[in-house]
């Protein structure tokens, strides 16, 4: 397979990169059209790379870390808000169930005490309501307790 270009082209580019020019290579680059063109292209690319490198300023690591911490905090707050919204919805459903249970108890007892109206399935329903309330309280407190244990 025939090589395209001069056989010394890669040596010229390496010499430009390393700064190790021999006198023979310098004369060859001045005389050879292909090596001269490769040298001009490599010099242009090197100058552009140096310019881009000089323009590129990285932010201080402190600010990168602060931004990451702030983003993590915002994500935790958003997650907590979603959990609290779910707890509020469940609590509203629980409150509606309690209102229905109390109204049913009052209607059944015809203005007697609510405790005397708890017959049959009413006791199970009350136990289910208490369990739902405990779950809502635990779900609401879980992120707070978890955050407190992570800080230690």
Residue 2 binned pLDDT confidence (cut-offs 50, 70, 90) = very low
Query: Is the per-residue pLDDT at 29 higher than 50?
Result: yes
- Rg of the chain taking only CA atoms, in angstroms: 39
Residues 104 and 144 in one domain: yes
Query: Is the per-residue pLDDT at 127 higher than 60?
Result: yes
Is 34 among the domain residues?
Answer: yes
Q: What domain range is 17 assigned to? A: 9-55
Closest CA to 86 of 146, 148, 142: 142
pTM for the whole structure: 0.39
Residues 45 and 98 in one domain: no
Give the CA angle between residues 75, 76, 77 to the nearest 5°. Answer: 90
Which position has the token pair 């680059």? 29
């Amino acid at each position: 397979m025939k090589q395209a270009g001069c056989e010394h082209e890669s040596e010229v580019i390496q010499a430009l990169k390393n700064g190790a020019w021999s006198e023979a290579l310098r004369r060859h680059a001045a005389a050879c059209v292909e090596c001269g063109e490769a040298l001009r292209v490599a010099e242009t690319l090197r100058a552009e790379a140096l310019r881009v490198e000089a323009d590129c300023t990285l932010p201080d690591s402190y600010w990168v870390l602060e931004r990451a911490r702030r983003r993590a905090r915002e994500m935790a707050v958003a997650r907590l808000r979603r959990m609290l919204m779910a707890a509020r919805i469940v609590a509203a459903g629980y409150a509606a169930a309690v209102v229905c249970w109390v109204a049913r108890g009052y209607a059944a007892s015809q203005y007697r005490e609510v405790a005397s109206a708890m017959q049959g399935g009413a006791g199970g329903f009350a136990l289910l309501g208490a369990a739902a309330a405990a779950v809502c309280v635990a779900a609401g407190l879980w992120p707070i307790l978890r955050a407190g244990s992570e800080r230690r």
